[in-house]
Amino acid sequence: MTRVRAVDLRLVGLPLVRPFRTSFGQSTEKACILARVETDETWGWGECVADVEPDFSGEFNDGAWLVIREFLAPALLRANDVRAEDLPSMFAFVRGNPMAKATVIDAVLDAQLRAGGTSLASYLGADRDRVACGVSVGITPSTEALLDQVSTYLLDGYRRVKLKIAPALDVDRVRAVREANPEIALSVDANAAYSAGDVEVFRALDAFDLLMIEQPLHHEDLIEHANLQRGLRTAICLDESIRSAADARTAIALGACRTVNIKQGRVGGLLEARAVHDVCADAGVPVWCGGMLETGIGRATNLALAAMPNFTLPGDTSPSARYFRDDLTEPFEMASDGTMAVPTGPGIGVEPDVDRLDACTRRREVLTA
């Protein structure tokens, strides 16, 4: 029996150690919403994966803030007895907005698990205590800069390298990285920058023995992804297209992908992420844990998820130092074998440093019943 007494919302901003460029834009800082819910017994944290602009998805920070403040938090604060498992249906009156919902659902789940002394990893049925890390390399100013970054990351021990690509910044760059590193696990991510007419690009990429080609086409084009997949040896992985377990079921049935990037925030939180995992596992489709440049709060969340049984490919779960000079939590570190420990404490198992959190808070609002 838990009542939520307060939802404490913050918008935080942390500089990135290096700019991160994708086919849709460049970020030099991480700006996101953090929610801390206070219950009768304890508290819990949720990190929103939306960004400043509605570019990766239709959601964005100011919009997610409003959705939480005006709709989700009031419903939560009105309820007398709250369990995280009830929230997806409690929030069904809000159409869409999975990133806003995930922030609140994950925070309540964290509080519930803290109260019960259970770690998120064991709640989710994780079957290992370390996960393999990959790195997502943003689009660089030149091929030389890309080769330099890739060699540095390989020396760090990463188990898989993913290159962001965009039209005209694709085949030559991937060839250069593959020729310099014939043996590595290598993939590319287009963030939906291509269309069906670009099939020649994908035929060329098909020759580089890639682990996967992530989200080549528009997020709504499942049929086009299926057509493209039929003509390729390389597996297509869907990211932006998958917003729920129902989407995953549809994409798999259509043959639109052979692997799925699970980002819990993109699908409406940890409970739906577990459902996506199960749909894929039942269909024999391997999954891996995506990243949204999370602070330590979201990173702890991702590590627990990535330890579930069907997460069989290295994820975009890099250590704190790949993103931030000072993370909000104790920094997550990667061992030289390219693995990272899954937190074992109750809930997500980490807590932000109060001074660092205050120093990077841009806006705060505490909502109460």
The residues binding ligand SMG (CB under 6 A) are: 20, 22, 27, 51, 56, 136, 189, 191, 239, 290-293, 316, 318
Query: How many whole angstroms separate alpha carbon 299 and alpha carbon 294?
Result: 6
Q: Identify whether the C-beta of residue 304 lies closer than 8 Å to the C-beta of residue 290.
A: no
- Interface with Mg ion, residue 189, by CB under 5 A: yes
Whether 164 is catalytic is yes
Query: How many whole angstroms separate alpha carbon 127 and alpha carbon 125?
Result: 6
Provide the β-strand partners of residue 270: none
> 212: how many CB neighbours lie within 10 A of its CB?
24
Residue nearest to ligand SMG (CB): 291
Residue 56 binds which of Mg ion, ligand SMG, none (CB < 5-8 A, kind-dependent)? ligand SMG
Q: Identify whether the C-beta of residue 304 lies closer than 8 Å to the C-beta of residue 320.
A: no
Structure tokens belonging to residue 147? 């080769």
Residue 45 binds which of ligand SMG, Mg ion, none (CB < 5-8 A, kind-dependent)? none
CB of 42 to ligand SMG, least distance (A): 28
Q: Identify whether the C-beta of residue 245 lies closer than 8 Å to the C-beta of residue 276.
A: yes
CB of 51 to ligand SMG, least distance (A): 6
Q: Using the minimum distance from each CB to Mg ion, give the nearer residue, 119 or 301.
A: 301
Residue 272 binds which of Mg ion, ligand SMG, none (CB < 5-8 A, kind-dependent)? none
CB of 305 to ligand SMG, least distance (A): 13
Please calculate the CA angle 248-280-249 and round it to the nearest 5 degrees: 30
CB of 136 to ligand SMG, least distance (A): 3
Query: How many whole angstroms separate alpha carbon 50 and alpha carbon 266?
Result: 8
Q: Using the minimum distance from each CB to ligand SMG, give the nearer residue, 22 or 39.
A: 22
Query: How many whole angstroms separate alpha carbon 343 and alpha carbon 334?
Result: 13
CB of 21 to Mg ion, least distance (A): 13
Structure tokens belonging to residue 367? 């909502």
Contact residue for Mg ion among 38, 51, 106, 239 (CB under 5 A): 239
Which residues inside 203-232 make contact with Mg ion, applying CB under 5 A? 214
Query: How many whole angstroms separate alpha carbon 40 and alpha carbon 70?
Result: 22
Q: Identify whether the C-beta of residue 288 lies closer than 8 Å to the C-beta of residue 313.
A: yes
Q: Using the minimum distance from each CB to Mg ion, give the nearer residue, 38 or 239.
A: 239
Q: Using the minimum distance from each CB to ligand SMG, give the nearer residue, 39 or 187.
A: 187
Whether 101 is catalytic is no
Q: Considering 30, 101, 162, 263, which one is annotated as catalytic? A: 263
Residue 291 binds which of ligand SMG, Mg ion, none (CB < 5-8 A, kind-dependent)? ligand SMG
Q: Using the minimum distance from each CB to ligand SMG, give the nearer residue, 113 or 292.
A: 292
Q: Identify whether the C-beta of residue 143 lies closer than 8 Å to the C-beta of residue 173.
A: yes
Query: How many whole angstroms separate alpha carbon 338 and alpha carbon 65?
Result: 36
Residue nearest to Mg ion (CB): 239
Residues assigned a catalytic role: 164, 263
